[in-house]
Amino acid sequence: MPHVISLIAVSVIVVLYASSGVLALIAGRLIVPWQRGRVLRPRLWGSGALVFVAGIVLFRCAATVSGATAFGILSACGLVLMLSGGVLQFLGGRVVRVQA
């Protein structure tokens, strides 16, 4: 039962995060209000969100594969996708200038 609850929770989070990424790509603005002032390039942020979600899905699907080699390859690819999506989202953010 905890596995099913975890699967449902991850699915809901993935769908919400992917929909915010798609809206950022299509509309050119962010749907989440706490990110609107910090993101300079919403299309880049949206593509990063979609790559991040793809990494989460691949990492989650790696748990269902039997075989250590396939599990290692899928989980490593999922981790690389999550890291590259995070980098894309970071690059889409506004650079904070520090005043001296």
Q: Which two tokens stand for residue 77?
A: 């690819």
Q: Tens of pLDDT along 33-76? A: 777 778 888 899 999 999 999 999 998 888 888 888 888 999 99
pLDDT score, position 14: 93
The SS3 call for residue 39 is strand
Average pLDDT for the chain: 86
SS3 letters across 13-41: HHHHHHHHHHHHHHHCCCCCHHHCCCECC
In 10 A of CB 27, how many CB atoms?
12
- Distance between CA atoms of residues 90 and 100, nearest Å: 24
8 A C-beta contact, residue 76 and residue 62: no
Q: Tens of pLDDT along 14-25? A: 999 999 899 988
99 pLDDT higher than 80 = no
- Distance between CA atoms of residues 72 and 62, nearest Å: 8
